A and B are shown apart, each in its own frame.
Chain A
Amino acid sequence: MTRILIDPVACDAYGYCAELLPEAITVDEWGYPIADGEPLPAELVDAARRAARDCPRRAIIVQELRAGA
């Protein structure tokens, strides 16, 4: 299972992640991303990794959770 975490200290609201992955990331009224924290559907995992790579602040964490975790 995979999910997205956002490091709120690193994040500077560039907003690329919400553009690259609108299915799982929205932004608040100040432009900071909100990840829904839900398990990521398998078809979105590649897009999530790209969003993490493209984040200028490296604030996106794509977290693999072991089964049962």
Chain B
Amino acid sequence: MSIQELVSEHAAVRRRSSRAWTIAALGPTTMLGGVAWAFLQPYRITVLHPRGQGFWWLVIEPPLLAVLAGVVFALLIAPGVLEDLEAHEDGR
């Protein structure tokens, strides 16, 4: 195998890896965004000050919804996509 082939194969592996890494990072990044938002605007987390809040205000809290979207994607979508992507890259 020539050096050129080795270099191009190495570049291909790196490209594939970065794709898989990005998929794996989507869910946690979304969750992290929600957590960062909760720290920036803690008053939007109504469970921290529940007195006088109605049902909906206690259930629907935007930073937690963002975290939930990240959790759903990370647990339900990403694992299968990663598995299929790796199988596709391995030529299986």
A and B interact physically:
no
